[in-house]
Structure 1
Amino acid sequence: MLAAQYDTLLVLISILVAILASYTALDMAGRINSVHHKGTFGWLAGGAIAMGVGIWSMHFIGMLAFRLPIPLGYDIGLTCLSLALVICASGFALWRVSQPSLPLKQLLVSAVLMGSAIAGMHYVGMAAMRMRPGIDYDPLLFSVSILIAIAASGAALWIAFILRKDTPHVRLARAGAAVVMGAAIAGMHYTGMAAAHFAEGSICLAVAEDDGLGAGWLAILIIVVTLAVLAIALLTSVFDSRLESQTAKLARSLADANEELVHQALHDNLTQLANRSLLEDRLEQMLRKAEREHGRFALMFIDLDGFKTINDSLGHHIGDRLLVEVARRFRSIIRGQETVARLGGDEFVVLVEIRDPEDAAPVAHKLLHAASERLLVESHDLGISASIGVALYPEDGTTSHDLLINADAAMYHAKAAGRNAYRFFETSMNTNVHNQLQIMQDLRLALERKEFRLHYQAKYDAANRRVIGAEALLRWQHPERGLIAPDHFIALAEKSGMIVPIGEWVLNEACRQMRTWYDAGRTEWKVSVNLSAVQFAHDNLVELVKATLERHRLPARCLILEVTESTAMQDVETSLSILNRLAGLGIDISIDDFGTGYSSLLYLKRMPARELKIDRGFIRDLADGTDDAAIVSAIIALGHSLDLHIVAEGVETEKQQDFLTELGCNSLQGFLLGRPMAPEQFQALTTMQVDPA
């Protein structure tokens, strides 16, 4: 018998390779379990190769650690066959553990098949030495090695099946299991080697015939290739796992973002109530349900009384908090399957299922009570009320449009009746509603039909009573209703959005007319144009003003833009930015209706205004010794201290004129001095500068 020895270093390397191969197998089983169906085959094939090469390498490094006192080599064909056997066994194992279940019977059968393949790999690899005489195996150790292979395969399959799920500590568990599996595989190998006996005078034909692989070359090749294959497999698995994790996180983030976008698209950002889009959908659903089940429901249109005053005087942040609290109160009253929506501003809509028309009244009463409860916000004790209009299905309409319109009409009647009340819709209310709808429809055509006119009211120098310019005032020459003052259609224009194109027309026409006067020698005149709150908030206001001045070649000093005090104070910082940009063009800024709001002198000082217009309400009741006289006197003194030009509008009596002049008012405007008139009449009136008094 030839005496055999082992290279200790190579033995240790073989065991480490077995452990690494076992860990790779466990990791591959996890990847196969986690990937989608389309990627399973790729990971199965790659895992089978990596696992098979690892086990096969352990075997051959162990063979290379084996030393006999004769040269040893290995037949290429049989070596490749042994590799093919273990790759097939590895592929079978990975496929088996990727199945949804692993019953005991299937586990035992699979263990026998896989163990036999691994044992076959070992003994085919031994046969690759082509010893003469042949290797003599100890029957007992031979049988034990096969049993170890089967037992190790069964244990490996069960462990891989258990650890295939990604759990918080799965990698640590796989590492521990890999040590156990690697030791079992190595145990099988070295038991099989111990079973082999080599007779005296044996030779290795793989070396003698010079057609086999040399041991030294083979050791380097196997170690390098094995480590490369296992490293690539593990790195690919780790990178793919991380990529899948990042992809899953991204998918979750996208799903969350999409859910948030859907929520934002269907809910009011401030109050988180349903918005108009969601209300329309809920209303259509309720209509279909009521029609199908012959049921009833009530649509309540709610407008808050006194909210605008709080919002303008205390600021938007206070108004927003008030709206949030009112929304919370409304939501607490309405049942979960019903709807509370905010249409914008201080307008709300409530949808409530009812059995009888009388059932709507208690709900409306609760909503009124909730709105009228006082609220403390930042030390401000706030009190508002609500006006509610109620429309019933099917009595007051069978479409969403009819119900909304009729509830809106009923709400306006509640407001007109003194507020803090609710009103059920009545057919007689339709007259006013249809009248407004008709005006709104005509308004959309008025620009196209060129029905708008500008009238001009003269502004006089208070000291010498000479015309210094005019204020452009909009009129609507309706084909059926005649000349309509702006008070009757501006609110509808703002509500419909038509105020923007109408405002553009006003600005253009006023500048065109001013250019005509300028060419006629009135170079010292200025024309004043009023900006609505909607216009002032429009994005392209500054560009529009600049383009209009350039179009008519009008010097910027000839234009005054009037902004109401409440408009300028709605969002002070934004207003200051817009006003500074407008003033930067060279035009004059006038603060209109001064004294009616709650201006801060700090902000007034920062505004680039050149003119202050005293509200006509103070002028109307002006008399010596009255509160209005004191207020006007204070406003004029304040304006002069800020180097502002003071204009008094609404002058209707000579006593008012004299009193304002004496107080130091710079300019006067009113019926006493001249009514608004068409440009032709205005030109004729002012051809000769005479004292109108």
Structure 2
Amino acid sequence: MHDPDDPRPPASDAGAAAAMPLRLLLRFADAAYERRFVKHYVAFYFRYAQASLVLGAVLIVGDYLVDHIAYGGVESNLLRLTVALPVLLAGLGYSLLPDARRHWQPAMSGFIITVAFSLFVTLTRIDDEGGAGLRSWVGVLNFTFLQFYCFVILGVQFRYALASGLVILAAFEYALWSHAGLTLPQAVYWSYHVITLFILAAGIGWWREYLLRKEYVARASLDDSRAAAEQRALRLAHYDEVTGLPNRRLFAELAVPVIERARRGGTGCTVLHVEIDRLAGIHHVYGRGAGDAALSDITQRIRLCIRSGDLAAAGTAGEEPGVVARLGDSAFSILLADLDSQERASLVAQRLLTAVAQPVVVDAQPLVLSASIGIALFPGDSPDLTGLMQCAAQAARTAAEAGGGQHMFFDAALNARARERVLLETELRQAIQTGQLCLHYQPKVNVRSGRIVGAEALVRWAHPQRGMIPPGHFIPLAEESGLIAPLTDWVLNAACDSLRRWADAGLPELPLSVNLPASSLADARLLDQLEALMQRYGLRPSSLTLELTETMLMRDIGAAIGVLERLRAQGYGLALDDFGTGYSSLNYLKRLPVNELKIDRAFVIDVARGGRDGALAAAVITLGRELGLQVVAEGVETEEQSEFLSGRGCVLQQGYLHSRPVPQGEFEALLRAGAV
């Protein structure tokens, strides 16, 4: 395994170097790559080198014994044992040290030269004693064996072996020409043989290293590819691809030690949850690429804010003062160490808000975004990271619901409301599945005849512990949590079942109104769903009136008109609810294919007093009549209101004056009586 701290050059660089074997004489590649190769090289030959040191020691001892038996105890023979053998044993002892491999190359080069001079001393002593040292094949073979020891057996790199070999060759030539006392032809003869064997040994050593380097190039390329894949997998597992910030997993790994250090030191820290408002709109309008570019720009601003010099560092000097992570499409989490006061946290949050509010250029257009920031303090709000992140996220949601572009601190009351909201959402989901919902019906009355001409179906939640819960408490929750679709499906089924029940009981037929949420108009299943209900319960579309608010229709007026026209063509009644509370224009009202206009209760409350409310109500009645629409007044609670409206031509009314919403049994009794 290679040192992870070493930079890894591309495999192509290594391949190019491998194609130039003459560079082995100097340097094979850059310094970092060379260090990697040396580790591989030494590891490859280390055991062989140790074995060769042992073999050299055995040969020295063997030569001594043979010479001692053959010639007796001559001094030069003992000198070989006392000089060469300690050097070999010293090299073997060095190889057993823990750091021997780190300095193996220069150490072995010095060892070879030391052995050479030990041999030189021994052979010259043999010559002095009248023996055949440098003057015979024995001396030549000894030096030749040392050359192979240098270039091949000890496994030293070629450039180190070459330097050592040249020193040995120079020493031998010096001894041969100046000490041995040979004639010129003899000196030339022995020099020729030594130099020839030197070249042969050097060539074998060079070729051996060249082949090993070629093998290593392939191995290093494979290792680098594997390491790059591991690094990519590690990055994908711990970092966000778009921003390069840590993800939730790495954020937890980095933040937990900071919190533990704060706990031990009795200091505090702060978690900020930053939600970028309306970032999804950029993705939808300009595409994912433009949204990611805007997000990267905002990320850099957040990083610069967190690196500001007035924040305390998270540890030793040089560390960043906080950890920034991306948690979702538009959410960031920031941990700031040694930041335990609301005042300082507010300064940081305000700086973040200012940074995010700077325009970002998307498709050559400057766009201004905002952020909602929630702040949780350790240890006051939570003793652990998970709790701090939850608290900060709750505070950020509250800031977003309050309009965005601001920061809020977490508090216990906020936590209680959030818990109650989560609990209510869970119970609502169960209520839809277990039949806790029911419909109440509020009659629409013709005040001139006193008869019921229609009704509005209003959903109620009969909670087993909380009692009857009005729709204002759970309808907004259903819209935010995504439960509005199954809730609407239940209401439509229950309304059609009631119509079938009343028809089977012989009760008067009348249209039943059901409120549709905004998501229903965007649901491609709506027309098929309504048709399936009509067939299942054997009803005519005219028996069902769908009520929609003008605010809902204005979200996409073109698409809404298309859906309404198809509904109208199939025979469904269409009512525009809460008219006057939105921002639709009269031009849109002219185009909407509705047949009923409902005056909102806000204009009914004070109509009896005249003034602007009375004028507006009268104008709406006249407008509806001129457009050929049926006008219904909601929220009629007093006789004065009823008389004012009927006097202006609005005879269809709905409100507590005539009947509050009643359960199915009571409403059926009203139907049998025919009047309220």
Q: Shorter chain as normaliser: what TM range?
A: 0.5 to 0.7
1:80 counterpart residue number:
none
DSSP 3-state at the match of 1:390: strand
**Within 5 A, what are the aligned runs for 1:611-690?**
611-690=596-675
Is residue 101 of structure 2 the alignment partner of residue 101 of structure 1?
no
Contact 2:262 2:338 in 1 (8 A): no
2:537 counterpart residue number:
552
Contact 1:298 1:360 in 2 (8 A): no
DSSP 3-state at the match of 2:608: coil
DSSP 3-state at the match of 1:609: coil
CA distance in 1, matches of 2:457, 2:405: 38
Measured against aligned partners, the alpha-carbon deviations of 1:638-680 in whole angstroms (never above 9, x if no partner) come to: 2223222111111111111111122222521111110011010
DSSP 3-state at the match of 1:538: coil
Residues 585 and 333 of structure 1, relative CA distance in 2, 3 Å threshold: same
One of 391, 403, 407 as aligned partner of 2:392: 407
One of 294, 302, 320 as aligned partner of 1:334: 302
Measured against aligned partners, the alpha-carbon deviations of 1:620-640 in whole angstroms (never above 9, x if no partner) come to: 232343222222222222222
DSSP 3-state at the match of 2:530: helix
CA distance in 2, matches of 1:651, 1:370: 51
2:336 counterpart residue number:
353
CA distance in 2, matches of 1:401, 1:504: 37
2:520 counterpart residue number:
535
**Alpha-carbon offset, residue 481 of structure 1:** 0.5
**Alpha-carbon offset, residue 274 of structure 1:** 11
2:497 counterpart residue number:
512
DSSP 3-state at the match of 1:442: helix
**Within 5 A, what are the aligned runs for 1:141-152?**
none
1:298 counterpart residue number:
271
CA distance in 2, matches of 1:546, 1:435: 38
Residues 660 and 303 of structure 1, relative CA distance in 2, 3 Å threshold: farther
2:272 alignment partner AA: L
DSSP 3-state at the match of 2:673: coil
Measured against aligned partners, the alpha-carbon deviations of 1:84-118 in whole angstroms (never above 9, x if no partner) come to: xxxxxxxxxxxxx999636799xxxxxxxxxxxxx
CA distance in 2, matches of 1:283, 1:619: 56
Contact 2:510 2:543 in 1 (8 A): yes
Stretches of structure 2 that go unaligned for 5 or more consecutive residues are 1-11, 24-231, 264-268, 305-322
**Alpha-carbon offset, residue 601 of structure 1:** 2.6
Contact 1:302 1:411 in 2 (8 A): yes
DSSP 3-state at the match of 2:427: helix
Contact 2:271 2:336 in 1 (8 A): yes
Residues 100 and 608 of structure 1, relative CA distance in 2, 3 Å threshold: farther
Is residue 551 of structure 2 the alignment partner of residue 583 of structure 1?
no
1:562 alignment partner AA: E
Residues 460 and 567 of structure 1, relative CA distance in 2, 3 Å threshold: same
2:412 counterpart residue number:
427
Contact 1:297 1:392 in 2 (8 A): yes
**Alpha-carbon offset, residue 608 of structure 1:** 1.8
2:480 counterpart residue number:
495
Root mean square deviation of aligned Cα: 4.7
2:612 alignment partner AA: D
**Alpha-carbon offset, residue 331 of structure 1:** 5.1
1:480 counterpart residue number:
465
Residues 384 and 266 of structure 1, relative CA distance in 2, 3 Å threshold: closer
Contact 2:248 2:325 in 1 (8 A): no
CA distance in 2, matches of 1:420, 1:464: 55
One of 414, 419, 442 as aligned partner of 2:427: 442
1:457 counterpart residue number:
442
Is residue 579 of structure 2 the alignment partner of residue 606 of structure 1?
no
CA distance in 2, matches of 1:428, 1:537: 36
**Alpha-carbon offset, residue 298 of structure 1:** 1.4
Contact 2:271 2:375 in 1 (8 A): yes
CA distance in 1, matches of 2:585, 2:577: 15
CA distance in 2, matches of 1:631, 1:282: 60
DSSP 3-state at the match of 1:545: helix
DSSP 3-state at the match of 1:651: coil
Measured against aligned partners, the alpha-carbon deviations of 1:333-359 in whole angstroms (never above 9, x if no partner) come to: 511673567767xxx655353431234
Residues 342 and 581 of structure 1, relative CA distance in 2, 3 Å threshold: farther
CA distance in 2, matches of 1:287, 1:542: 51
CA distance in 2, matches of 1:446, 1:544: 22
**Alpha-carbon offset, residue 438 of structure 1:** 1.4
1:145 counterpart residue number:
none
CA distance in 1, matches of 2:556, 2:247: 29
Instruction: Please identify, of 393-402 and 670-679, the stretch whose mean Cα deviation from structure 2 is larger.
Output: 393-402
- Structure number with greater CO (CA < 8 Å, separation at least 6) is 1
Identity over aligned pairs, percent? 37
Contact 1:605 1:642 in 2 (8 A): yes
**Within 5 A, what are the aligned runs for 1:129-528?**
280=248, 283-284=251-252, 287-288=255-256, 290=258, 296-300=269-273, 333-335=301-303, 338-339=324-325, 350-358=333-341, 359-367=344-352, 388-392=373-377, 395-397=380-382, 402-411=387-396, 422-528=407-513
**Alpha-carbon offset, residue 683 of structure 1:** 1.2
1:338 alignment partner AA: V
DSSP 3-state at the match of 1:596: coil
Number of aligned residue pairs: 420
**Alpha-carbon offset, residue 542 of structure 1:** 2.0
Stretches of structure 1 that go unaligned for 5 or more consecutive residues are 1-35, 37-96, 106-257
DSSP 3-state at the match of 1:686: helix
Contact 2:508 2:671 in 1 (8 A): no
DSSP 3-state at the match of 2:434: coil
Residues 404 and 293 of structure 1, relative CA distance in 2, 3 Å threshold: closer
Contact 1:373 1:383 in 2 (8 A): yes
**Alpha-carbon offset, residue 516 of structure 1:** 1.6
Residues 342 and 637 of structure 1, relative CA distance in 2, 3 Å threshold: farther
**Alpha-carbon offset, residue 500 of structure 1:** 1.3
DSSP 3-state at the match of 2:303: coil
2:524 alignment partner AA: D
DSSP 3-state at the match of 1:335: helix
Measured against aligned partners, the alpha-carbon deviations of 1:231-270 in whole angstroms (never above 9, x if no partner) come to: xxxxxxxxxxxxxxxxxxxxxxxxxxx99xx9xx979xxx
CA distance in 2, matches of 1:396, 1:490: 31
CA distance in 1, matches of 2:665, 2:643: 29
Residues 281 and 579 of structure 1, relative CA distance in 2, 3 Å threshold: farther
1:573 counterpart residue number:
558
Measured against aligned partners, the alpha-carbon deviations of 1:534-564 in whole angstroms (never above 9, x if no partner) come to: 3333332222222112111111000011111
